[in-house]
Copies of this chain bind each other. A is one copy, B any other.
Amino acid sequence: MQDIFDYIDQHATECVERLRALCRQPSIAAQNVGMAETAEMVVALLKQIGAEGQVLPTAGFPVVYGALPGASLKALSFYDHYDVQPPEPLELWHSEPFAAEVRDGRIWARGVADNKGNLVARICAVEAFQNVRGELPLNVKFIVEGEEEIGSPNLPAFAEAHAGLLAADGCIWEAGYKDTQGRPEIYLGVKGILYVELRTSGANIDLHSSWASVVPNPVWRLIWALNSLKDSAERILIPGFYDPVREPTPAELEALERMGFDEAGQLTQLDLPQFLGGLRGAPLLVKHIFQPTCNVCGISGGYEGPGSKTVLPNRAMAKLDFRLVPDQDPHQVYEQLRGHLDAQGFGDIEIEVLGPEYPARTAMDDPLVDVVVETARDVYGVEPVVYPLTPGTGPMFELCQKFGIPAVSTGVGNAESNNHAPNENIVIEDFIQGIKHIAKIMASFGAT
C-alpha cells in the first residue's frame, strides 16, 4: 500500500482544498439553506473520480448516489451525508462557520467533521487507488443523503425503493473520532432516536405579567410537563419506556472494558467536575453506551433578551430527543410519551415528531469488523477502540441491518471536533490518515 499512501501524501493539499470548498457551501437541512447547491457539488466530486453521480429525489432533500466498478465481485458501500447542523450560536465561533479557515493544523467549519471530511476522504481514497493502480480492488458505492441532521425522515422510503442500488457486502458508516488519547474509535451500531417538539399556549397574546395571578402561563405548564418526564436522579418516568431495553451481553461488556475510556481527559476537556450522578468506570460506560436518554435540546418562551421584561408569555416550546437502544422502537416511545402526558393532565400539550429512527447494531464477530479494526491498527499505529454501539444516531437500520448488510463506522474526527457545536474542526493530519485507512479497507475487504 506504500505506493498509494505516497500518492495520498503527495496530493494532500488538493484533498484539503477539495474539502474546504465543500465546507464553504452551507447545507443546513433544518433551515433549508444551500441544499440543492451542495447536492450538485457532491455529484461533481463523484464525477471527478469517474462515478456517474446521480441526484435521486426523495420527498425531502435528494440522495446523491454514485457507483464504481472494481476488480473483485465484492461491493463496499460508503454512507455519508452532505447536510450539516445549524451553525448557531454564531457568536461563539472563532472564525466564520462556512469560511473553512485553516488554523493550527486544523480545518474549522460547520460540517467538516460531521460529515463532509469523511465523504471527501473516501472520494480521495478512491481517486488515489485509481490513479496509482488503475482500478479499484472491489465495487464501490457512495450513498450520500441530505437529511441526516434532521433525522433522515425520507430515507426509509428511499431505501425501500432503491434496495438494489444499496446492495453491498459491507458498509463503511459515516464517521469516527479519535479519543482524547488519540486512538481511533470504531462503532458497530447506533442508538435510535425520537426527536419531538412540545408546544403549549395560553391566552391569545402575551400579557402584562400582573395577570399571572389568574391567567395560565404556558411556560409553567411546559416546566411541569417536562418535570414529569424525568426526575432529578435522571430516571425517565414514562411508563414502559425501559421495558424493551436489551441488557448488554458479557462480550459487549468486555468490549467496554477494552475501550479504556479516558474519564479524566474527557472531564478536563469539558471542564466538568464529574459525570452525571458521579458515575465512573463500568457503570458510566454502560449508561453511556447501552442506556437510552431523554434530553432537552432547546427550550424557549417569553422574553429572552437582556434585562427585565415583565410579561406573561402566551407560548412555550421545548425540543427533546430520546436516544434509544436495541430493542426500543421510536414509534412506540412516541405513543408512550403521548399517553404519559395525557395521563398527567397535559393533554393540551402538542407534540410534533421531528425524527424517529431505530437503533441498530452489527455483530461483533462480523468479518467487516475485523477488516476495519486491523487496517486501523496498521494505519494509525495504535490499537483502535471498538464501541459495540455509539451513543449517536443514524439511519443504519434502514440502510443496512434491514437488508442484512453489516456496517462499521470510522472517520477523520478528533476528541475536540465539536460536532453539533461551535468551532467544529478536524486535524488535517487525521484527515490524511483517514484517506489512507479507507484505501486500506478497500484493499483488505476486496481480498477477503
Cβ distance A268 to chain B, nearest Cβ, rounded Å: 10
Pick the residue among B207, B221, B299 that contacts A302 (CB under 8 A).
B299
A224 nearest CB neighbor, chain B only: B232
Q: Per-residue 0/1 for A305-323: is the Cβ within 8 Å of any B Cβ (1 yes, 0 no)?
A: 1111111110011010101
Q: Tell me if A319 and B323 are in contact (CB < 8 A).
A: no
Residues of B within 8 A of A217 (CB): 295-296
Q: Which residue of B lies closest to A275 (CB)?
A: B214
A288 surroundings in chain B (CB, below 8 A): 213-214
Identical copies in the complex = 2
**In contact, B422 and A205 (Cβ under 8 angstroms):** yes
For residue A227, CB closer than 8 A to chain B, the reply is yes
Which of B219, B279, B307, B423 is A31 in contact with, Cβ under 8 Å? B307
The docked-state distance in angstroms from the alpha carbon of A205 to that of B415 is 13
A55 CA to B88 CA in the complex, in Å?
42
Cα A304 to Cα B317 with chains together (Å): 8
Q: Indicate whether A205 sits within 8 Å of B30 (C-beta atoms), given known contacts A210-B390, A300-B300.
A: no
Is A403 among interface residues, defined by CB-CB distance under 8 A?
Answer: no
- Complex partner residue of A319 from B215, B216, B299, B303, CB under 8 angstroms: B303
User: Which of B191, B204, B418 lies in contact with A205, CB distance below 8 A?
Assistant: B418
Size bracket, chain A contacts: 35 or more
**A205, B227: Cα distance in complex, Å:** 24
User: Would you call B300 and A312 a contact (CB within 8 A)?
Assistant: no
Contact (Cβ within 8 A) A298 B287: no
- On whether the beta carbons of B209 and A297 are closer than 8 Å, the reply is yes
Q: B309 and A219: CB pair below 8 A?
A: no
- Does A382 reach chain B (CB closer than 8 Å)? no
Report Cα–Cα, A345/B303, bound state, in Å. Answer: 27
* Given A207-B420, A299-B301: 12 more A-B contacts, CB < 8 Å: A30-B305, A86-B303, A149-B308, A197-B308, A209-B323, A210-B390, A214-B288, A221-B232, A297-B302, A297-B303, A299-B302, A300-B301
29 contacts between A and B (CB under 8 A): A30-B306, A149-B308, A193-B310, A202-B272, A205-B270, A205-B418, A206-B421, A207-B420, A208-B392, A209-B323, A212-B293, A213-B276, A214-B276, A214-B279, A214-B284, A214-B288, A217-B296, A219-B296, A223-B296, A224-B227, A297-B308, A298-B301, A298-B311, A299-B302, A304-B317, A304-B319, A308-B354, A309-B319, A311-B421
